[in-house]
Amino acid sequence: MMALTLAQLAAAVDGALIAPDDAALADPTHTVDGPVETDSRLVVPGALFFAMRGENTNGGLFAEAAVANGAVLVFTEERLALPVPQIVVADTLYALAALARAVVAEVRAAGTLRVVGITGSNGKTTTKNMLRAILSAQGPTVAPQGSYNNQVGAPYTMLRIDEKTRFLVVEMGASGIGDIARLIGIVVPDISVVLKVGLAHAGEFGGIEATQRAKSEIVTQLPADAVAVLNRDDERVAAMAVLTAARPVWFGLDPEADLSADDLRATSAGTSFTLLVDGLRLPVNLRILGEHHVMNALAALAVARELGVDITEAISALEGVERAERWRMEILTRADGVTVINDAYNASPDSMAAALKTLAQIIEPGQRSVAILGEMNNLGDYADDEHDRIGRLAVRLNVQQLIVVGHRARHIHNAAGLEGSWDGESVLVETADEAYDLVNSRLRAGDVVLVKSSNAAGLRFLGDRLGEVQA
Determine the 3-state secondary structure of 337 from DSSP. Answer: coil
CA angle 69, 77, 15 (to 5 degrees): 100
- 124 annotated among ligand-binding-site residues: yes
Determine the 3-state secondary structure of 191 from DSSP. Answer: strand
Residues 175, 205: Cα–Cα separation, whole Å: 6
- 54 annotated among ligand-binding-site residues: no
Residues 60, 63: Cα–Cα separation, whole Å: 5
Side chain identity, residue 63: A
Instruction: Give the residues across from 325 on adjacent strands.
Output: 328
For residue 69, give the H/E element and its range.
none
- 121 annotated among ligand-binding-site residues: yes
Determine the 3-state secondary structure of 419 from DSSP. Answer: helix
Determine the 3-state secondary structure of 366 from DSSP. Answer: coil
Q: Which residues, other chains included, contact 421 with Cβ-Cβ below 8 Å and sequence gap of 6+? A: none
- 122 annotated among ligand-binding-site residues: yes
- 196 annotated among ligand-binding-site residues: no
Determine the 3-state secondary structure of 149 from DSSP. Answer: coil
Side chain identity, residue 261: A
Residues 111, 114: Cα–Cα separation, whole Å: 9
Q: What is the DSSP annotation of 260-325?
A: EEEEEEEETTEEEEEEEETTEEEEEEESS--TTHHHHHHHHHHHHHHTT--HHHHHHHHHT---SB
Q: What burial class does residue 20 get, using C-beta atoms within 10 Å of its C-beta: 0-12 exposed, 13-18 middle, 19+ buried?
A: middle
Binding residues: 120-126
Binding residues for ATP: 120-126
